[in-house]
Structure 1
Amino acid sequence: MNRQPTHLEYWGKAKPDNDGPAFHRLAYHSLDVAAVGVAFLDRSPAICAFFMNALQIESKSALQSWFGFFLALHDLGKFSEAFQSQRPDIFAELRQRQPDPGKPYGLRHDTLGWMIWEQYLADIAIENQWFGEDGESLMDGVAWWVRACTGHHGQPPISTSAGHWRQHFSTPHDAQAIKTFIDELFVLFPPEVLRTVPEGMGAERLDTVSRQLSWWIAGLAVMCDWIGSNTDFFPYCTEHYDLGKYWIDAQTLADSALTAAGVLPPPHTEQSFYELFPDIPAPSPLQAWAIKATISPTSQIHLLEDVTGAGKTEAAVTLTQRMIAGGCADGFFIALPTMATANAMYERIAEVYRKLFDGDPSLVLAHGQRNLVEAFADSVLPATHDEGDRSQLDDTASARCSAWLADHNKRALLAQAGVGTIDQILLSVLYSKHQSLRLLGMLRKVLIIDEVHACDDYMQRVLETVLEFHARAGGSVVLLSATLPQHMKDALFDAFARGRGAPLPVARSSLDFPLVTSWHETLSEPSLQAIEARKAVCRSVDVHYVSDEQTVIASIRGALAAGRCVCWMRNTVADALAACAQFEHELDAEHLILFHARFTLRDRLDTEQRILKHFGKSSTPEERAGRLVIATQVAEQSLDADWDFVVTDLAPIDRLIQRAGRLQRHPRDTSGQRHADPAAPDERGRPCLWVFGPEWTETPAPKWFKTFLPKAAGVYPNHAQLWLTAKALQSGGFTMPSDARALIEGVFSEYGELPEGLQANAGKAEGDSYANISIAMQNTLKPAAGYVRDAIDWWSEASTPSRLGEATMTVVLARWEGDRLRPWVDHETLRHAWTYSTVKVAERQIAERVPESDPVREQAVLDAMECLPGKGNWSVVMVMSPAGTAWQGQAVAKGIDNKPALIRTWIYDDRHGLRQQDTSTQLDMESA
Structure 2
Amino acid sequence: MDATSSMLLSALCFQYWGKAKAATHAAQWHLLAYHSLDVAAVCQIYLERSPGLLAWLKQELAVADSDAIISWLVFWLALHDLGKFSLTFQAQRADIMSTLQGAAPEHAQQGTRHDSLGMQCWNEHILPLAESEQWFGDADSDLDLGLVWWARAVTGHHGQPPLGSVPFMQRHFRQQDVEAAKQFASAAQRLLLSPAAAAIPGRCGARFDSISQALSWWAAGLSVLCDWIGSNADFFGYHERAELSLEAYWRKAVAQARRALDSSGALPSPSPRGLGFEQLFPSISQPSPLQNWAIQVPLEAGPQIHLLEDVTGAGKTEAAVMLAYRLMTEAGAEGFFIGLPTMATANAMYGRIGEVYARLFSDPRASLVLAHGGRKLVEDFAASVIAAGKDEGGSPFDDESATRRCQRWLADHNKRALLAPAGIGTVDQALLAALQSKHQSLRLLGLARKVLIVDEVHACDPYMQRTLEALLEFHARAGGSAILLSATLPMRMKSALLRAFARGCRATAVPPQSLHYPLASSWASAAPSALSEAAVATRPDVRRSVRVRYESDRASVLQGIAQALAAGHCVAWIRNTVADALDAHAEMAALWPAERITLFHARFALGDRLDIEQDVLARFGRDSAPAQRSGRLLIATQVAEQSLDVDFDLLVTDLAPIDRLIQRAGRLRRHVRDAAGQRLLAPGAQDQRGEPWLWVYGPAWAEEPEADWFKKAFPKVARVYEHHGQLWLTARALQGGVLSMPDDARTLIEAVFGDDVDLPSALQYGANQAEGKAYGDASQAAQNSVKLAKGYVREGLEWAADSVAPSRLGEDTIEVLLGRWKGDALIPWCDRSTAHDWAYSTVKVAKRLIAAAVPPATPARQAALAAQMALLPGGGQWVVLLIMDEQAQGFQARATGVAKPGAAARETLWIYDKAAGLRTANDAEENKA
TM normalised by structure 2 equals 0.95
Q: Following superposition of structure 1 onto structure 2, how do residues 748-827 of structure 1 map, counting pairs within 5 Å?
A: 748-827=753-832
Alignment match, 1:205 = 207
Alignment match, 2:190 = 187
* CA deviation after TM superposition for structure 1 residue 134, in Å: 2.9
C-alpha contact 1:536 1:678 (8 A) present in aligned 2: no
1:444 aligns with 2:449: yes
Alignment match, 2:913 = 909
Q: Following superposition of structure 1 onto structure 2, how do residues 658-737 of structure 1 map, counting pairs within 5 Å?
A: 658-677=663-682, 679-737=684-742
C-alpha contact 1:305 1:484 (8 A) present in aligned 2: yes
Alignment match, 2:106 = 100
Amino acid at match of 1:63: I
1:290 to 288, 291, 294: 294
C-alpha contact 2:72 2:193 (8 A) present in aligned 1: no
- Give the share of equivalent positions with the same residue, in percent: 53
Which segment drifts farther, 595-604 or 749-758?
749-758
Alignment match, 2:27 = 21
2:226 to 217, 224, 227: 224
Measured in 2, the distance between the counterparts of 1:694 and 1:636 equals 21
Measured in 2, the distance between the counterparts of 1:42 and 1:487 equals 42
Alignment match, 2:137 = 132
Structure 1: segments with no counterpart, 5+ residues: 921-928
Measured in 1, the distance between the counterparts of 2:875 and 2:501 equals 37
Measured in 1, the distance between the counterparts of 2:566 and 2:270 equals 56
Q: Following superposition of structure 1 onto structure 2, how do residues 513-552 of structure 1 map, counting pairs within 5 Å?
A: 513-521=517-525, 522-552=527-557
Size of the aligned set, in residue pairs, is: 913
Alignment match, 2:97 = 91
Measured in 2, the distance between the counterparts of 1:791 and 1:638 equals 37
Alignment match, 1:430 = 435
Measured in 1, the distance between the counterparts of 2:294 and 2:612 equals 34
Amino acid at match of 1:226: W
Alignment match, 1:924 = none
Measured in 1, the distance between the counterparts of 2:899 and 2:631 equals 44
1:600 to 605, 619, 626: 605
Alignment match, 1:10 = 16
Measured in 1, the distance between the counterparts of 2:281 and 2:685 equals 21
- Seen in structure 2, the aligned counterparts of structure 1 residues 39 and 689 have a Cα distance that, compared at 3 Å, is same
Alignment match, 2:344 = 340
Alignment match, 2:163 = 158
- Seen in structure 2, the aligned counterparts of structure 1 residues 630 and 143 have a Cα distance that, compared at 3 Å, is same
- Seen in structure 2, the aligned counterparts of structure 1 residues 651 and 168 have a Cα distance that, compared at 3 Å, is same
Measured in 2, the distance between the counterparts of 1:690 and 1:183 equals 74
Q: Give a deviation string over 1:30-83, Cα, whole Å, max 9, x none.
A: 000000001111111111111111111121111111111110111111111221
C-alpha contact 2:707 2:766 (8 A) present in aligned 1: yes
Measured in 2, the distance between the counterparts of 1:307 and 1:191 equals 56
Amino acid at match of 2:608: D
Measured in 2, the distance between the counterparts of 1:130 and 1:894 equals 56
Q: Give a deviation string over 1:810-831, Cα, whole Å, max 9, x none.
A: 222222344444332225455x
Q: Give a deviation string over 1:521-580, Cα, whole Å, max 9, x none.
A: 313142111001111100000001111111111111111111111111111111110110
Which segment drifts farther, 837-846 or 150-159?
837-846
1:849 to 834, 839, 853: 853
Amino acid at match of 1:353: Y
1:349 aligns with 2:353: yes
Q: Following superposition of structure 1 onto structure 2, how do residues 435-514 of structure 1 map, counting pairs within 5 Å?
A: 435-502=440-507, 504-514=508-518
Alignment match, 1:247 = 250
1:40 aligns with 2:40: no
1:878 to 877, 882, 886: 882
Which segment drifts farther, 545-554 or 818-827?
818-827
Measured in 1, the distance between the counterparts of 2:9 and 2:407 equals 37
C-alpha contact 1:159 1:790 (8 A) present in aligned 2: no
* CA deviation after TM superposition for structure 1 residue 327, in Å: 3.7
- Seen in structure 2, the aligned counterparts of structure 1 residues 820 and 86 have a Cα distance that, compared at 3 Å, is farther
- Seen in structure 2, the aligned counterparts of structure 1 residues 817 and 752 have a Cα distance that, compared at 3 Å, is same
- Seen in structure 2, the aligned counterparts of structure 1 residues 389 and 478 have a Cα distance that, compared at 3 Å, is closer
* CA deviation after TM superposition for structure 1 residue 392, in Å: 6.7
Amino acid at match of 2:57: F
C-alpha contact 1:81 1:100 (8 A) present in aligned 2: no
Alignment match, 2:271 = 268
Alignment match, 1:236 = 238
Alignment match, 1:114 = 119
Which segment drifts farther, 849-858 or 832-841?
849-858
- Seen in structure 2, the aligned counterparts of structure 1 residues 523 and 51 have a Cα distance that, compared at 3 Å, is closer
Which segment drifts farther, 615-624 or 130-139?
130-139
* CA deviation after TM superposition for structure 1 residue 590, in Å: 4.1
Q: Give a deviation string over 1:771-818, Cα, whole Å, max 9, x none.
A: 111111111011100001134321302443110123333222222344
- Seen in structure 2, the aligned counterparts of structure 1 residues 692 and 413 have a Cα distance that, compared at 3 Å, is same
2:62 to 35, 56, 59: 56
Q: Give a deviation string over 1:233-290, Cα, whole Å, max 9, x none.
A: 1111224211111111111110111011011111211211000000000100000010
Measured in 2, the distance between the counterparts of 1:365 and 1:36 equals 22
C-alpha contact 2:139 2:201 (8 A) present in aligned 1: no
C-alpha contact 2:704 2:762 (8 A) present in aligned 1: yes
Alignment match, 2:259 = 256
C-alpha contact 1:350 1:365 (8 A) present in aligned 2: no
Alignment match, 1:316 = 320
**What is the SS of the residue equivalent to 1:100?**
coil
* CA deviation after TM superposition for structure 1 residue 176, in Å: 1.7
1:740 aligns with 2:745: yes
Measured in 2, the distance between the counterparts of 1:866 and 1:679 equals 61
- Seen in structure 2, the aligned counterparts of structure 1 residues 619 and 96 have a Cα distance that, compared at 3 Å, is same
- Seen in structure 2, the aligned counterparts of structure 1 residues 919 and 615 have a Cα distance that, compared at 3 Å, is closer
TM normalised by structure 1 equals 0.96
1:170 aligns with 2:189: no
Measured in 2, the distance between the counterparts of 1:269 and 1:108 equals 46
Amino acid at match of 1:127: S
* CA deviation after TM superposition for structure 1 residue 389, in Å: 4.6
Measured in 1, the distance between the counterparts of 2:375 and 2:621 equals 16
Which segment drifts farther, 11-20 or 204-213?
11-20
Structure 2: segments with no counterpart, 5+ residues: 1-7, 925-929
Alignment match, 1:839 = 843
Measured in 1, the distance between the counterparts of 2:630 and 2:915 equals 20
- Seen in structure 2, the aligned counterparts of structure 1 residues 314 and 338 have a Cα distance that, compared at 3 Å, is same
Q: Give a deviation string over 1:355-385, Cα, whole Å, max 9, x none.
A: 0111224324699623343212322112211
**What is the SS of the residue equivalent to 1:594?**
strand
Alignment match, 1:362 = 366
Measured in 1, the distance between the counterparts of 2:448 and 2:486 equals 24
Which segment drifts farther, 2-11 or 54-63?
2-11
Q: Give a deviation string over 1:212-240, Cα, whole Å, max 9, x none.
A: 00000000000000110111111112242
Measured in 1, the distance between the counterparts of 2:258 and 2:683 equals 50
* CA deviation after TM superposition for structure 1 residue 419, in Å: 0.2
Amino acid at match of 2:238: Y
C-alpha contact 1:85 1:105 (8 A) present in aligned 2: no
C-alpha contact 1:131 1:191 (8 A) present in aligned 2: no
- Seen in structure 2, the aligned counterparts of structure 1 residues 441 and 568 have a Cα distance that, compared at 3 Å, is same
